[in-house]
């Protein structure tokens, strides 16, 4: 929600738009948070690990692109974001279908029992 506010509030004239460096630092902080969340997925299935790994990469690419003003990196991050989002949608569908049918309909790379 705060990211939406960063983009939508400045056109109202109440506050000034943020510069790329601030936005980059903001996104890098989310990248750090997501990295720690990724560590929490290491005992989970492979798809959730991929979702959080790709989300971490996405945040750091966006941070770098905004800090440096490199539009090519931001564009590349957009494509990486599509991959991240598609994998999250796949995981959601797999969780629902596998639960409802009581068997593996869409594989998610379940971890091996210790």
> Is the pLDDT at 89 greater than 80, yes or no?
yes
pLDDT tens digits for range 59-76? 999 999 999 999 999 999
C-alpha angle 27/85/50, rounded to 5°? 85
Contacts of 56 (CB under 8 A, 6+ apart): 31, 34, 35, 38
Estimate the crossing angle of helix 20-40 against helix 46-68, to 10 degrees: 160
* Distance separating alpha carbons of residues 91 and 65, to the nearest angstrom: 28
pTM equals 0.86
Q: How many CA atoms lie within 13 A of 29 on its CB side?
A: 7
C-alpha angle 9/79/31, rounded to 5°? 60
pLDDT tens digits for range 14-64? 767 778 899 999 999 999 999 999 999 999 999 999 999 999 999 999 999
* Distance separating alpha carbons of residues 103 and 57, to the nearest angstrom: 32
Yes or no: say if 25 and 7 are a contact pair by the CB < 8 Å rule: no
Domain ranges of the chain: 19-101
- Round the CA-based radius of gyration of the chain to a whole number and report it: 17
């Amino acid at each position: 929600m705060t990211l939406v506010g960063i983009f939508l509030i400045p056109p109202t004239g109440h506050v000034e738009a943020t510069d790329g460096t601030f936005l980059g630092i903001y996104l890098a902080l989310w990248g750090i948070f997501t990295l720690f969340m990724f560590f929490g997925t290491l005992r989970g299935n492979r798809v959730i690990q991929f979702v959080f790994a790709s989300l971490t990469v996405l945040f750091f690419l966006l941070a770098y692109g905004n800090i440096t003003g490199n539009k090519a990196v931001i564009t590349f991050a957009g494509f990486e974001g599509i991959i991240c989002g598609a994998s999250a949608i796949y995981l959601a569908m797999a969780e629902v279908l596998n639960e409802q049918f009581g068997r593996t309909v869409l594989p998610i790379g379940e971890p091996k029992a210790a």
